[in-house]
Amino acid sequence: MLLMKNLLLFSLLFLTLSVSAQVTDKETDLRKLNNDSTEGWKKGGMFTVAFSQVSLSNWAAGGENSFSGNSLVNTFANYKKAKISWDNTLELGYGIMKQGDQDMRKTDDKIDFSSKFGRKLTTNSFAAALLNFKTQFMPGYNYPDDSTIISNFMAPGYLLFAAGYDFKRGDWLSLFIAPVTGKMTIVTDELLANAGAFGVEPAVLNPVDSSIATPGKKMRSEFGGYFKGAFSKDVMKNVKLNTKLELFTNYLHNPLNIDVYWETNIGMKVNKFITVTIGTTLIYDDDIDIEIRNEAGDVIGKGPRTQFKEVFGLGFSYKF
């Protein structure tokens, strides 16, 4: 009887060890598969479109008919293998609004492409180089005057190349600092270039008849330091926060006047296709002069100003 109990105990112990070994082997294979699957290309993105509309008929309280729409496309294509990391993002945005008898007006317009190549130094650090390009699709006007163009495609266009150090934590955090950075501001619109818009050198006028003696420059180059911090993570269930902060200082001209570009987007998923989005953009560029108006709306001067934009939308989203 005792022998039978010992045999049974030994059999159970052997079976337990065998099952444990099998699970361990499967876990090892699964981990290996997961590690292998993280290498190579990882691609995806999200498309979001939101609309709002107000229609009034004999409405005693007053008001105007209005319509607005906004669309966003965020895509990425990232490559990772061994010590190599290559991250690419493309962000496109466009928005319109029509109120009352006014013509259609633009409310959002951006093209933002970024490519960062890095070679791993330690677990979370990389020697990296970054290329960034920003511009817009369509002309922008000085409303309510819709005949004066104040911006256009490639007016401005910003091209930046930076080399430095990148600290990364997974796919959700990147802190990139570059002591060696070249930045070019491009203004291909001749009228804007002659006016010296966006910091380019303006045209030289003939003192006799005010005709243009020397056309304005269409490019401005800067050399300085650059920082970019990017965070993208689900902060709670169905709520994702994306934010990026870019800072640039020109070593050769007013280095303490730092250019700032800070963009934040919060997406709150209602269901598979409906999403509430809140987006903000803050910009400060010491080389961009913006009209200063008094309470009556009259222009009293120009100078660098903090620019801020907020976009709220409820609409359709599709992740791919």
Determine the pLDDT at residue 38.
Answer: 62
Two structure tokens written together for 170: 């997974």
Determine the pLDDT at residue 291.
Answer: 80
Determine the pLDDT at residue 295.
Answer: 81
State the average pLDDT over residues 119-148.
93
State the average pLDDT over residues 149-168.
97
Determine the pLDDT at residue 28.
Answer: 45
Ranking 56-60, 141-145, 195-199, 315-319 by mean pLDDT, the lowest is 141-145
Determine the pLDDT at residue 52.
Answer: 87
Determine the pLDDT at residue 166.
Answer: 98
For 305, residues 6+ apart whose C-beta sits below 8 A from its C-beta are: 284, 290, 292
State the average pLDDT over residues 274-299.
87
Determine the pLDDT at residue 19.
Answer: 37
Determine the pLDDT at residue 62.
Answer: 83
State the average pLDDT over residues 274-278.
92
Range among 13-17, 102-106, 249-253, 310-314 rated most confident: 249-253
Per residue in 218-262, pLDDT (tens digit) is 999 999 999 999 999 999 999 999 999 999 999 999 999 999 999
Per residue in 58-72, pLDDT (tens digit) is 888 888 899 999 999
Please indicate whether residue 153 or residue 38 has the higher confidence score (pLDDT): 153
| Residue 35 confidence (pLDDT) above 70 | no
Each residue of 66-85: b (16+ CB within 10 Å) or e? eebbbbbebbbebebeeeeb
User: CA distances (Å), 153 to each of 217, 259, 294, in order?
Assistant: 17, 21, 30
Please tell me the pTM assigned to this model.
Answer: 0.83
State the average pLDDT over residues 133-143.
94
Confidence grade of residue 8 (pLDDT, cut at 50, 70, 90): very low
